[in-house]
Amino acid sequence: MDGKTEQQILEEYKYWSAVKEDWANLAYYRDANASLNAPGENENRVVFMGNSITEMWQVHAPPFFKKTGFINRGISGQTTPQMLVRFRQDVIELQPKVVVILAGTNDIAGNTGPTTNHMILNNILSMVDIAQSNRIHVVLCSVLPVNHYPWAPELQPAQRVISLNASLKSYCKKHNIPYVDYYTAMVDAEQGLPTRYAPDGVHPNTQGYAVMEPLVMAAIKTILEPKGKD
C-alpha cells in the first residue's frame, strides 16, 4: 500500500465495496499478505487493524510506517463486524507479536446499519480473544472524538463515543491490556475533533497523527520493551 495517494485508496475502497460477494473486503490486502514472508526469528512484527483513520495514516504521515516497519491493515469505511471477518487473514496469518486495534467510529456512524455500543464492544473483544488465543499481544485504542459525521449529519455521536471509550478503558484495566487514549489528547470543548487535527472533524491530518504517534508507540513499547528488561 506504500506510495498510494489518498484518492487511489478511496477509489480502491469504492471498488471493493461494490463487490457484494466481498462484504468484508477480504481481497483488499490479499496480494499484499501473500507477498509477506513469515517474521524473522528476532522480528517484532506489529500490525495495525482499523478503518480509514488507520489506513490514511500512511498517506498523511508516511514516515511512521516506513521507519518502524509496522504493517497497516486499515480499510476506509469499515466497521467492527467487517474487521472481525477479516481478522484472521489480515492479522493472525501475518504472525505479528502485537496487534493495534482502532475501531468503532464507523459503527456509530451506521456505515453497515444500526448497531449498539454493546455490539461494537463485543466485536472488538472478539478480535482481542482471537489474538490472545494465538499468543499475539493486543493494544486497544480509544475511538477518536467526534461530534458530527459529514456523511451522517443527523447523528449526534459524541456521547456514544465517550461511553464506548469508557467500556474499552475499563476492559483494558481489568485485563492488563495497554490502552491508547487518543480521545483525551485530542478532544475539544465541543467533544469533537478540532479542525487543526482533522479538517472534516473525523479524519486526522498530519498534525493529528503527530499527536497519535507517540501515544501508540508508548503502548507498543510496554510490550516490546518492558521495564526491567536487560
Which CATH number does the domain housing residue 211 bear? 3.40.50.1110
Query: Taking residues 125-137, what's their average pLDDT?
Result: 98
Residues 86-102 have pLDDT tens digits of 999 999 999 999 999 99
pLDDT at 10: 74
pLDDT above 60: residue 200: yes
Longest dimension (CA), the chain: 54
With beta carbons less than 8 A apart as the criterion, state whether 101 and 139 touch: yes
Flag whether 206 is in a domain: yes
The parent domain of residue 162 ranges over 44-224
Query: Taking residues 47-60, what's their average pLDDT?
Result: 97
Query: Taking residues 149-177, what's their average pLDDT?
Result: 97
Flag whether 95 is in a domain: yes
Query: Taking residues 97-116, what's their average pLDDT?
Result: 97
pLDDT at 3: 67
Flag whether 16 is in a domain: no
pLDDT above 60: residue 16: no
With beta carbons less than 8 A apart as the criterion, state whether 138 and 97 touch: no
With beta carbons less than 8 A apart as the criterion, state whether 161 and 108 touch: yes
Flag whether 140 is in a domain: yes
Flag whether 212 is in a domain: yes
pLDDT above 90: residue 156: yes
The pTM (predicted TM-score) of the whole model is 0.90
Flag whether 39 is in a domain: no
On the CB side of 3, how many CA atoms lie within 13 Å of its CA?
0
Helix, strand and coil in the chain, % to nearest 5: 50, 10, 40
pLDDT at 1: 47
Query: Taking residues 11-37, what's their average pLDDT?
Result: 81
Picking from 194, 77, 79, the residue whose alpha carbon sits closest to that of residue 147 is 194
Flag whether 103 is in a domain: yes
What element of type H or E holds 215? helix 206-224
Domains identified in the chain, total number: 1
Flag whether 30 is in a domain: no
Looking at per-residue pLDDT, the higher value among 204 and 4 belongs to 204
